[in-house]
Amino acid sequence: MNRRHLIAAGLALAVFSTPTFAQNAEKPKLTLGVGGKPLLYYLPLTVAEKKGYFKEQGLDVEINDFGGGAKSLQALVGGSVDVVTGAYEHTIRMQAKGQDIRAVIELGRFPGIVIAARKDLAGKVKSAADFKGLKIGVTAPGSSTALTAQYAMVKAGLKATDAPIIGVGGGASAVAAMKQGQVDLISHLDPVISKLEADGDITTLIDTRTEAGTKGLFGGANPAAVLYLKADFAEKNPVTTQKLVNALMKSLKWLETAKPEDVADLVPAEYHLGDKPLYLRAVKNSLESYSRTGISTPDAMKSMYDSLKLLDPELAKSDVDLSKTFIDSFAKKAGAGS
């Protein structure tokens, strides 16, 4: 057996041997990185924090909010955070580079990303084929918002480098960038998109908040936000990892029956971007996108990998074993209510 098989076997034994609630976490105080916490993409994390689900598990989780998902990945690789809530695609990219980073629970089953043009460009920009030379605002270069815009361009026959990618952050700064004309297009998430839509600032071109929109761009479901970590963290801290997954699974279950009003009342007021009715609409638009099982399907993982291969020349000839990108035993146990 090679090291990866030993890790998998050891994790399975640790996960299924002893009830996790009865065990103490090996690392009860830990740091979690996220890129744009107010975004609805990461709502399950905020739910776990505000509902006290981490504390129920005996965990003290310090959340560091970075400017975008690529920055939180850098923090994990550099060792300044223990775990990350970020895009699933990062696990594929890191596996291709020989770094054993894996997801342990799926939070979003659809990307929830919308690509839109400034309203005054509506007549000129009708599809991704028209993006050449236009400035595209994203949370941060290298993040899932940037990759989705670049994938749309490549699929439309352009090159990923045909339009400049501009980082505009995750909240009010992104709204301001579009309103002030700093960017021509935006590839972003709710509530930013719903705010711009309601104010009449944008024309939506691609919408992956729904299953139909996701299939329209990617041809199938695509895992979105996950909790990911270094495999050796899960190996050394299986109880801690299980407790993190337990808390996030409880968030997903809460979101299955939550009303938009419940969510709006739970999150910090600044998440509403100064417009609570608008935030309610954004939540309603996004509730379909959250994972129901916490586990990405093989078909969905392959869909993501295929899109990355098309987009990134470095991945085009790669051969990533997708089973190594996701440890599903933690989510299975959490889903069973152990």
Residues 163-184, mean pLDDT to the nearest whole number: 94
Q: Write the pLDDT tens digit of every residue in 296-305.
A: 999 999 999 9
pTM for the full predicted model: 0.84
12: pLDDT strictly greater than 70:
no
* Average of per-residue pLDDT across 110-116: 94
Which has the closest alpha carbon to 16: 319, 253, 336, 305?
336
What does pLDDT average to over the chain? Answer: 91
The per-residue pLDDT for range 174-218, each reduced to its tens digit, is 999 999 999 999 999 999 999 999 999 999 999 998 888 998 998
* pLDDT per residue as tens digits for the range 13-34: 444 444 555 689 999 999 999 9
Q: How many residues in the chain?
A: 338
Is the pLDDT score of 1 beyond 80? no
| Predicted pLDDT at 143 | 83
Both tokens assigned to 10: 């050891």
The domains located in the chain, with CATH, are: 3-110+222-335 (3.40.190.10), 114-207 (3.40.190.10)
